Amino acid sequence: MGSNKGDDPIPSGGMETYVDDIAPELSKHCKLLIITRKFKGTKSHEQRGNIEIYRIPYIKGKYFRNPSFNLLSFITSLRLIKKYDVIYPQGLIASFFAYLLSKISGKPVVCRPAGIAYEQYSFPINSILYFLMKIIYSRCAVVIFHSEGEKENFIKILGETPKKSEIILTGIPVDKFSRKIKNGKKQFGIPEKTVVVGFIGRFVEVKGIEYLVRAAGLIKNSNLKFLLVGDGPQRKQIENLIESLGLKKSFVLTGFRHDIPNILSAIDIFVISSVSEGLPTSLLEAMAAGKACIVTDIGLPVKNMETGLVIPPKNPERLAWAIKILIQDSELRKKLGHNAQNFTTQNYTLEKAAKRHVEVFSKL
């Protein structure tokens, strides 16, 4: 669809990457009309076989990019109303405009929450978003969740079950991540025997990177490095925290990267320290690469001590404990990584995800 390439200081999120991955597979079963953001060097309109793409401008900034893009997408969607049969928004603001579009067009809307958005903001914005969640997701024809745990977490936060919901496991190109890549640590100047704990994602508060940094401060191990991959509005704050804790020698910050298979080849332990998530693509990619994963207990498809370690969110002490366990027990690391890879390969292919989407759309 065309990547950010530094055009927006807030990098593209996992949902944009996911749509980019699944679109070619989904287009084998139906026509797709994709409305996405306009970046430098990309066309405003493009046709690729069964995929038609409209790229929309937006206003930059944390509080403007999402509503401005979705408002202009709504206007574009009104103009294209005869071209589609089902509306499939990604995220809360998109679902709000899709609901309005559904009322005007009579077309069914299938909502994808893509994380619990209100926790990323402070009062009064979080209260407004929470109110919208209660209204919109109860009125969608179907709400799509990427795991049973995500659905349970959604119900726990909202206190109610959507009128109709479906579980569609996220699809990823598993073969791309399961390939063995040599000399992964060498690219960062890290000795091969050093244990590397990795994070891949946006530097935003909801990702809980602060708790990973604080956990690092509780671990006394010279044979350990932390690799943080990504960028975003919280990066400077994280850099300052690392420096204030005297951990500069323990951390490598790479910025935004596209070569995720190469990055994962350098990582031994992968961490999701988020406070709230839908289902991060980075987790599935790490599992497909056979990495031992530590995740917070926020509804992710990881079974404790079988396909990873599960810890409470906002708890650096417990996160430090889990990292120490995996540093000391290389056999457990190997076992968790092997089980995670098998689980992902069996359940999270793009082909399966595309077919499940078509089943849901066809029923409408």
pLDDT of res. 122: 66
128 pLDDT above the threshold of 80: yes
Kindly report the pTM of this predicted structure: 0.76
116 pLDDT above the threshold of 60: no
pLDDT of res. 11: 60
Residue 8: pLDDT band (50, 70, 90) is: confident
Residue 354: pLDDT band (50, 70, 90) is: very high
So where are the chain's domains?
14-171+349-363, 174-347
Q: Read off the pLDDT of residues 16-32 as tens digits, 9 standing for 90 and up.
A: 878 888 999 999 999 99
pLDDT of res. 118: 47
C-alpha 288/C-alpha 123 separation (Å) is: 38
Residue 103: pLDDT band (50, 70, 90) is: very high
Among all chains, which residue has been given the structure tokens 């999402």?
A: 66
pLDDT of res. 20: 87
Domains 14-171+349-363 and 174-347 alike in fold: yes
119 pLDDT above the threshold of 70: no
pLDDT of res. 155: 87
108-115 mean pLDDT: 88
Q: Read off the pLDDT of residues 245-266 as tens digits, 9 standing for 90 and up.
A: 999 999 999 998 888 999 999 9
| Mean pLDDT, rounded, of the chain | 91
Residue 110: pLDDT band (50, 70, 90) is: very high
Lowest mean pLDDT among 80-84, 141-145, 197-201, 253-257: 253-257
pLDDT of res. 299: 84
Q: Read off the pLDDT of residues 297-318 as tens digits, 9 standing for 90 and up.
A: 988 999 999 999 999 999 999 9
117 pLDDT above the threshold of 60: no
Residues whose CB is less than 8 angstroms from the CB of residue 42 and which lie 6 or more positions away in sequence, other chains included: 1, 2, 55
60-65 mean pLDDT: 83
Q: Read off the pLDDT of residues 193-247 as tens digits, 9 standing for 90 and up.
A: 999 999 999 898 989 999 999 999 999 888 999 999 998 889 999 999 999 999 9
Which architecture characterizes domain 14-171+349-363 according to CATH?
Answer: 3-Layer(aba) Sandwich (3.40)
Residue 41: pLDDT band (50, 70, 90) is: confident
264-274 mean pLDDT: 97
pLDDT of res. 221: 87
Specify whether the backbone of 361 is left (phi greater than 0), alpha (psi in -120 to 50) or beta: alpha
Residue 2: pLDDT band (50, 70, 90) is: low
Give the CATH class of 174-347. alpha beta
Q: 129 or 185: whose pLDDT is higher?
A: 185
Range list of H helices, the chain: 14-26, 65-79, 92-105, 125-136, 148-158, 174-178, 209-217, 235-244, 260-265, 281-288, 316-328, 330-347, 350-363
Q: Hey, CA dihedral for 78, 83, 87, 93, is it positive or negative?
A: negative
Q: Which long-range contacts (CB under 8 A, 24 or more apart) does 135-140 make?
A: 136/92, 136/95, 136/96, 136/99, 136/111, 137/95, 137/111, 137/113, 137/162, 138/162, 138/163, 139/99, 139/163, 140/95, 140/99, 140/109, 140/110, 140/111, 140/164
